[in-house]
Structure 1
């Protein structure tokens, strides 16, 4: 079987992250210095995969910078023409293409209100980049597959880098430099497991569960499963899942749990135990051998990943699983039905 474009781009991610860090670390240091004291919270405008990256920022900036992070409602700026007052906000637009008018509208209005604005995009010449006061290019290189992979992980890296820079945290800079090797280790370890995705060829629905930093990962993996395999995949935090949706689970119900070792690990271990008792079909992303041993499909991570960076590594098994399942179903992973690379919404 020939290698798909998507598979090539999944495997390019360690190099893309290295390129981003090499090109933008000093720029982001200077940018952070210029932003300190100019804002009290962060408002992020994004859609799709970029919106999932914004969910990661809610935890990274919350834990390390003590900053509230809100997700913008672009329709207020476009269809309703009633933009909120943005006093105290740093307004960030995230878009791989930089083409969507609604994200640009949020940035333009923020700039009109005199707020600091930042575009994070793979196209530094895009309308979004032109609308913003500052731009951080993703350096992901051309992304030809419809489903975003390397622009997602480079967006996460950019947000992680900005968080570290705002805190002037040298230890976290050093941890960021470990990422390319951690990602390579993960991808190498996953390769022999992907043939087992055939087991899920007739899967029509599943849930994806994470919490904390990896709440974003649950959303992104669920999106990739939907885009690539046409299965209905619903993302949940482990806390929200216990508040009702767990009633769906019966024998053989596919449940993917993102459970790297961090502050929320005990909660996820407890949930996995309960799901096993309910007879769920468990797919587990973790470095915890006990958790992996409870899964029908264990998806291992390397040990010793800094907790705040686990989303950059833990998403890789989800990307690879979605690709392998699409191929097992006879679907084209490079051109999912009904999708296009650049989506422009108002």
Structure 2
């Protein structure tokens, strides 16, 4: 019998299909109803914070809005809420239960700012604190490690980006996303065998940039919580500012490198790392950079760059699943973790 995690990974094309059906018109209407704002302040933790990091790139690129990531402890531990003048305040949480994220939205409302909750629970405290609620429609996520709720959060970020962009082509591209996801999962079959090579891996580096900076952190989190590997995530630019000195022969390095504005930089880094003796695991559709890898992880061709974080993380989730099994671990019961984490 397959694990809950595996079932939820492979359910994601259907989850995103349902989300697009339920929320495309709603989000378009919310965008039309929002009062003027100059920037977006987003509060989130864990995987939700990685979805916010994706928005930090997608929303300025496609809509021009600057994004600030909130420090929730300012509200709950220091009791020094910052000014939110001219902000749209957004909270992202699959459960909607974390008090620190709720506190940010409550303060936004107190300061008279528009507030938006993105959650899988429309009856949660986070939803109650918001003017507008976007539900993920992912169904109950029973595995501890977030998979379908993360890609649903990304899809919501993409829907807002498309609505704000004013470009109908973006919505057309989004409608293709579930089929691209199915194709990606079909291409992931070889990963079960490839994961065996890394069953004794205890540390690695995960690198992405731009839209896929978020993917590097989400993949790193999946590796840590499921396989207990100390996975450290970086942007390719930050990695060059010191951490590259840690690379030694055989160090596993994941590169998330689809064909996009960051590709040439990632290709140069791949060549440099290979010369230094690193063992490369590369997520890309480009044969040029896949050929640098000990373990190539091929993406479908011609995926729009702003959608690539979903296809890239699908491969990362599947690899993390099989590596967990190769290590003899239970993917549904990571040690010391619970599904809902409430932080102050």
TM over 0.5: yes
Pairing 1:158-307 to 2, within 5 Å after superposition: 158-307=156-305
Answer yes or no: is 1:311 the counterpart of 2:309: yes
* Cα deviations by residue, 1:165-188 (Å, 9 ceiling, x for unpaired): 122221100010111011111111
2:21 alignment counterpart:
22
- Post-superposition shift, 1:97? 0.4
CA contact (8 A) 1:38 1:116 kept: no
2:91 alignment counterpart:
93
Q: Bigger shift: 277-286 or 160-169?
A: 160-169
2:134 alignment counterpart:
136
CA contact (8 A) 2:191 2:322 kept: no
- Post-superposition shift, 1:250? 1.3
Separation in 1 of the partners of 2:165 and 2:277?
A: 45
Unaligned runs of 5+ in 2: none
Separation in 2 of the partners of 1:89 and 1:287?
A: 38
CA contact (8 A) 2:257 2:263 kept: yes
- Post-superposition shift, 1:293? 1.6
CA contact (8 A) 1:33 1:166 kept: no
Separation in 2 of the partners of 1:210 and 1:167?
A: 24
Equivalent position SS for 2:151: helix
2:8 alignment counterpart:
9
1:84 alignment counterpart:
82
Separation in 1 of the partners of 2:328 and 2:171?
A: 42
Task: Give the alignment's Cα RMSD to 1 decimal.
Answer: 0.7
User: TM (normalized to structure 2)?
Assistant: 0.99
- Post-superposition shift, 1:146? 0.1
CA contact (8 A) 1:206 1:234 kept: yes
Separation in 2 of the partners of 1:8 and 1:298?
A: 24
Equivalent position SS for 1:262: coil
Separation in 2 of the partners of 1:290 and 1:106?
A: 45
Separation in 2 of the partners of 1:161 and 1:258?
A: 23
Separation in 2 of the partners of 1:193 and 1:97?
A: 30
- Post-superposition shift, 1:140? 0.8
Separation in 1 of the partners of 2:274 and 2:83?
A: 48
